Copies of this chain bind each other. A is one copy, B any other.
Amino acid sequence: MTDTAIVREVGLRDGLQLVKEMLATGTKLEWCRLQAATGFTEFEVTSFVPPSVIPQFADAADVLEGAQKIDGIRPSVLVPNLKGGQIALDRGAEKIAFVLSASEEHNLSNVRKSTDASLAEFSELVAARAERGLENQVELSCAIATSFGCSIQGEVPEARVYDIAEQLADLGADELNIADTVGYANPLQVRHIFTELEACVGDVPLAAHFHDTRAMGLANVVAAVEAGVRRFDASLGGLGGCPFAPGATGNIATEDCVYLLESIGLGTGIDVSALLEVREKLDDWLPGERVEGRLMNAKPAKTYRPAA
CB–CB A188/B264 < 8 A: yes
One of A47-55, A165-173, A200-208, A295-303 at the interface: A295-303
Q: How far is the CA of A187 from the CA of B257 in the complex (A)?
A: 13
Tell me the minimal C-beta distance from A205 to chain B in angstroms. 23
Q: Which residue of B lies closest to A246 (CB)?
A: B297
Q: Contact string, A247-262, partner B, CB cutoff 8 A, digits 1/0? A: 1110001001001100
CB–CB B263/A151 < 8 A: no
Tell me the minimal C-beta distance from A85 to chain B in angstroms. 31
Q: How far is the CA of A215 from the CA of B294 in the complex (A)?
A: 6
Interface residue A83 (Cβ < 8 Å from any Cβ of B): no
Q: Contact string, A172-196, partner B, CB cutoff 8 A, digits 1/0? A: 0000000000111011110000000
Q: Which of A188, A189, A215, A293 has the most CB of B within 10 A?
A: A215
Interface residue A222 (Cβ < 8 Å from any Cβ of B): yes
CB–CB A303/B149 < 8 A: yes
Query: Residues of B contacting A215 with CB < 8 Å?
Result: 217-218, 253, 256, 259-260, 293-295
Q: Which residue of B lies closest to A148 (CB)?
A: B303
Interface residue A213 (Cβ < 8 Å from any Cβ of B): yes
Interface residue A219 (Cβ < 8 Å from any Cβ of B): yes
CB–CB B301/A214 < 8 A: yes
CB–CB B260/A298 < 8 A: no
Q: Which of A182, A183, A253, A298 has the most CB of B within 10 A?
A: A298
